[in-house]
Amino acid sequence: MRFILRRIGFYLIAFWVSITLNFMLPRFMPGDPISRMLARSQDKMSSEQVQQLQKLFGLDNRPIMEQYVSYIGDMVTGNMGVSISRFPTPVTEVIASQIGWTLLLGSTSLIIAALLGNLLGIIAAWRRGSAMDSALPPLLIFIGSFPYFWLAMGALYLFGIVLGWFPLRHAYDSALDPGFTWAFLSSVGYHLVLPALTIVLVSIGGWMLGMRNTMIATNSEDYITMAEAKGLKPQRIMLRYAARNAMLPSVTSFGMGLGFVVGGALLTETVFAYPGVGYQLLGAVTGLDYPLMQGLFLIITAAVLLANLLVDIVYVRLDPRVRTH
Amino acid sequence: MSNDKLLDIKNLTVQYRGDVRTTTAVDDVSFGIAEGEIFGLAGESGCGKSTIANTILRLLKYPAEVAGGSIMFNGRDVLALNGEELRQFRWREVAMVFQSAMNSLNPVLTIGEQMRDIFTAHLPVTKREADARCGELLEMVQIDQGRLKSFPHQLSGGMRQRVVIAMAVALRPRMLILDEPTTALDVVVQQEIMAEIKTLQAELGFSVLFITHDMSLMVELSHQMAVMYSGRIVEQGPASTLHHRAAHLYTRALMNAFPPITGERVELRGLGEGVRLRRIDNLAPVGPNHWAAPISDEDRMSLAQQSTGAEGGQQ
Amino acid sequence: MTTPITTATTEAVKPARVSTRSRSGLLHGLMTNPKAMLGAIILIVFILLALLAPVIFPGNPSRITAMASQEPSAAHWLGTTAKGQDVLALTIHGSRMSLFVGLIVGVMSTIIGILVGLTSAYFGKFVDEILSAVTNIFLLIPGLPLLVILAAFLPPGVGTVIFVLILTGWAGSARVLRSQALSIRSKDFVAASQVTGDRAGWIMAREILPNMASIVMGTLLGCIIGAIGAQAGLEFLGLGDTSTVSWGTNLYWAGNEGSLLTGAWWVFIPSGLCIALVAFALSLFNYAVDEVTNPRLRTVAKKRSVSAPLAGAKETA
């Protein structure tokens, strides 16, 4: 419990840092993109909305500390202003409509990659010198060397344009009405295949190698020798003794991996025109929609921190040693 | 050595194969242990004692390999056992207590889960039956049954070693290998653990291969003993004989490393400077049931130069 | 964006490899390691191409020299872009900027990582608490979104790209190097050096750092791989300086001009393949460093010596 509380404290600090970063960027960076943005879109906004944005971006000439305190208050209460590119929708609403897609894509691909990669790593470490141990890692490293977006574009070209097996864009067939119907859900699954597959393909090597190396280190532990001496069945030693311990670092990487997948979603979603927060973030950048940009950054960070907290809770269940400390 | 031994090791050689050179960790070693006998194997760190222990249970890992010799246990060729036979042989016939209980217990499983594994792997028992027997085992080494739910890190060092001992006798094996079972513990706990082992041995009657570098402990506990140096046995015989009338100067040096509290004053010397042997010849009989390796001429000369008190070997 | 996962997961194994060998031992090991040699050869080829680019293709590679969207031919080995630029010239010139940024960012991130990691491990306590917290926060904040919003607020240019990549790249290496330094910090020779009154800076530089040579090497390679990939990603999104020529901007223009949709695969393949080859070569090298310094990871050659627990021990000839 103390471990979890400490972690929560740490995540709160991390969240505070990202809010502070958001606060400082428009105020201390050279140039004045915000004034330009406001000047361009002032006529369509009400004076109230203009005021709010001025307040958020530090154009209201209040003392800096006062701005800071009210800014933190605004962020925590979800008062992030209106989106410029999707005027007049509030930033929070824009994000809420899209974060689900990112989470779906991110968690699907992450879970598949981590499960499959770890399983392959366990087998490779257990059968040292086998084809899987010697041929697969270099192959996966090679695949993992390609820029992710490049592989994604290649897959889109090959399977989407040339072969026509998979849809080219979006998360579902736009002719369908979203809802819990079979047609809609299967369309969602169909649109998910290619983006998820490319993420799995590039990230699986990291999982496999990490697990393989940890397993090899674990295999030389005394408790593995003892388990062998006890005459346990090999599968039991491999799973309950070796893999059970070797998976602990993998669980920690899972939280980090989520950060990379959600962050990397920017590229995936851009290539596949997948309507998640990453795609929206790029849209916000090109459309100079600073309120949306900052809101997205904060929400993505919050999602990653929350996921890490969940991982910590799982970790405590798996490693009895952190429970007592 | 006769055939009525429970464990009979003949001309065992174990090598570590390296890219460049091969190191011989155990070199042409032979000894036997009778039913119910406690056999001590002494020697400094790295002399090959633990390698022998691991070889008996076939726990050697690459790059260590058996390069020659045989290990017979109860008339069966241990080195010829196939996968499933070997699995059955382990722990049921020969069990082992490892040096560090902290490291030999799986940190993420409870004591109970790790003990239960032994029963479910070897006997047709249900989980509940296995758990009941685990509880009895713990009581046997004076630990409360409730500790079954504890994780290794929640026990003290002495308790952990007791748990490991309880695990070792779980299947009533005919032989127990104790690989420096008390080295990692403090002196008081050491005594308790040794007393525990003695009681259990008297009760259950298993043979023991007792490995340590603590000579006083070994002499106290063992019937027969052998002294190893650099992968070779240099002397072998009844423990009391080796204690009082050691033939080989290395054995004497080892015995002297633990001076008696009473009796005449002996000058203490470091082992390292005292004895450095280049070549160890095959054992030759020096008394009833007592063998020692003759000192080679080469060693005799170099020892004569540096020797102060101990004159070279037996004649 | 996926390479950092590798760094994070292998970290658990790495602290074990306190190198007792001298650096010449590492060098010798690498010289005889086929993976390291293959990696080195690929890298040398790319470095030579980057250095010789102005000789092979003099002048501005972006200028329009031919008909648009030509397939590969004798005149244009890799074809031309939708604007009519020579793809081979763009690719070879692109290596200059990509390798340069990768190297600068990799070296700078590693240096910051060493400074933070060593200081943190050496002084411990309060200093360590603070530095570790900062490192972990940087690791937690998702990198690419941070890159994107930083790039959006800063004036576009190569300097911005480099700055932003270093800012988001140093934390990973700091964490790995801290845990390694921590294990060396607890060794007796460090204590001995302290007792004899050596200054902290000296101990860190002369006692601890040389013992981390292999892991610093691994971190540096990892950082360069990460930097080249992240740079390409940033530029592909149009957040770099689109007027420079690099593999990332080549791909940006390829995407922007719809080369894939029109079937012009030759515009799209070369730059991506180059990034992959460089990253692969660096990974191979990194892998080899691991193998040389951690013998347990070496490929087991003989079938009979598999370390699977029930493998036969009896090998009596």
How confident is the model over C113-125, as a mean pLDDT?
A: 89
Which residues of A are less than 8 Å from C139 in CB distance? 256, 259
Which residues of C are less than 8 Å from B86 in CB distance? 310
Residue B259 — very low, low, confident or very high, per pLDDT cuts 50/70/90?
low
Summarize pLDDT for B187-198 with one digit per residue, the tens: 888 888 888 888
**Cβ–Cβ of B106/A220 closer than 8 Å?**
no
Report percent pLDDT > 90 for chain C.
Answer: 12
Which residues of C are less than 8 Å from B83 in CB distance? 310
How confident is the model over C235-261, as a mean pLDDT?
A: 83
If DSSP codes are grouped into helix, strand and coil, which group holds residue B236? strand
Q: Where are the domains of chain B?
A: 5-93+173-314
- Residue B11 contacts A where some CB pair is shorter than 8 Å: no
Contact B231, B253 (CB under 8 A): no
Is the pLDDT at C27 greater than 80? The verdict is no
**C-alpha distance across the termini of chain A, in Å:** 9
- Residue B73 contacts A where some CB pair is shorter than 8 Å: no
Neighbouring residues of B4: CB distance < 8 A, sequence distance ≥ 6:
B34
Which residue shows structure tokens 């919050």?
Answer: A302
Strands, sheet with B38-42, edge to edge from the N-terminal-most edge strand: B94-97, B175-179, B207-212, B38-42, B224-229, B232-238, B290-292, B284-287
Which residues of B are less than 8 Å from C307 in CB distance? 61-62
- Tell me the β-bridge partners of B7: B33, B73
Is the pLDDT at B38 greater than 90? The verdict is yes
Is the pLDDT at B313 greater than 60? The verdict is no
What count of CB pairs under 8 Å joins B to C? 34
Weakest-pLDDT range from A24-28, B310-314, C11-15, C41-45: C11-15
Shortest alpha-carbon distance between residue A134 and chain C (Å): 7
Examine residue A275 and say whether the peptide bond preceding it is cis (omega within 30 degrees of 0): no
pLDDT of residue C8: 35
| CA B239/CA B252 separation, integer angstroms | 13
Is the pLDDT at C15 greater than 50? The verdict is no
- In a mutagenesis test of the C interface, which of A23, A36, A128, A294 is the best target, namely the one with the most C β-carbons within 10 Å? A128
How confident is the model over B34-50, as a mean pLDDT?
A: 88
Shortest alpha-carbon distance between residue B57 and chain C (Å): 10
Residue C172 — very low, low, confident or very high, per pLDDT cuts 50/70/90?
confident
How confident is the model over C153-164, as a mean pLDDT?
A: 84
Return the top range by mean pLDDT from B254-263, C91-100, C141-150: C91-100
pLDDT of residue C111: 94
User: Cβ–Cβ contacts within 10 Å for residue B145, how many?
Assistant: 15
The structure's pTM equals 0.77
Of C300, C314, C317, Cβ closest to residue B62 = C300
Report percent pLDDT > 70 for chain A.
Answer: 97
- In a mutagenesis test of the C interface, which of A11, A150, A214, A218 is the best target, namely the one with the most C β-carbons within 10 Å? A150
| Nearest C-alpha neighbor of A56 from the set A70, A42, A76 | A70
DSSP 8-state secondary structure symbol assigned to residue B149: G
DSSP 8-state secondary structure symbol assigned to residue C80: B
Return the top range by mean pLDDT from B166-170, B258-262, C83-87: B166-170
Contact B91, B114 (CB under 8 A): no
**Cβ–Cβ of B121/A248 closer than 8 Å?**
no
Is the pLDDT at C250 greater than 80? The verdict is yes
If DSSP codes are grouped into helix, strand and coil, which group holds residue B68? strand
Neighbouring residues of C129: CB distance < 8 A, sequence distance ≥ 6:
none
How confident is the model over B61-74, as a mean pLDDT?
A: 89
Is the pLDDT at C106 greater than 50? The verdict is yes
Which residues of A are less than 8 Å from C259 in CB distance? none
| Complex-level ipTM | 0.84
Calculate the alpha carbon distances from B30 to B25, B52, B55 in Å.
14, 11, 13
How confident is the model over C266-293, as a mean pLDDT?
A: 86
Which residues of A are less than 8 Å from B90 in CB distance? 228-231
Q: Strand pairing of B64-73 and B38-42?
A: unpaired
Report percent pLDDT > 90 for chain B.
Answer: 41
- Residue A320 contacts B where some CB pair is shorter than 8 Å: yes
Q: Closest residue of B to A242, CA-based?
A: B106
| CA B180/CA B50 separation, integer angstroms | 9
Neighbouring residues of B167: CB distance < 8 A, sequence distance ≥ 6:
A230, B95, B114, B115, B118, B137
Residue C16 — very low, low, confident or very high, per pLDDT cuts 50/70/90?
very low
How confident is the model over C37-48, as a mean pLDDT?
A: 90
- Residue C266 contacts A where some CB pair is shorter than 8 Å: no
Summarize pLDDT for A113-160 with one digit per residue, the tens: 999 999 999 888 888 777 778 888 778 888 888 888 888 888 888 888
pLDDT of residue A1: 74
Mean predicted lDDT score pLDDT of chain C = 77
- Residue A239 contacts B where some CB pair is shorter than 8 Å: no
Q: Closest residue of C to A237, CA-based?
A: C309
pLDDT of residue A97: 85
Query: Which tokens is C113 given?
Result: 């990582």
Which residues of B are less than 8 Å from C314 in CB distance? 58, 66, 79-80
**Cβ–Cβ of B60/C313 closer than 8 Å?**
yes
Is the pLDDT at B119 greater than 90? The verdict is yes
CATH of range B5-93+173-314; options 3.40.50.300, 3.40.50.12780, 3.30.750.210, 1.10.1660.10: 3.40.50.300
pLDDT of residue B260: 56
If DSSP codes are grouped into helix, strand and coil, which group holds residue A172? coil
Shortest alpha-carbon distance between residue B14 and chain C (Å): 10
DSSP 8-state secondary structure symbol assigned to residue B235: E
Of A145, A211, A308, Cβ closest to residue C283 = A145
Calculate the alpha carbon distances from A102 to A159, A178, B91, C239 in Å.
22, 16, 53, 21
Those residues of chain A that have pLDDT short of 70 are 29-33, 42, 324-325
Residue C1 — very low, low, confident or very high, per pLDDT cuts 50/70/90?
very low
DSSP 8-state secondary structure symbol assigned to residue B296: P
Contact B40, B226 (CB under 8 A): yes
Residue C5 — very low, low, confident or very high, per pLDDT cuts 50/70/90?
very low
**Cβ–Cβ of A267/C280 closer than 8 Å?**
no
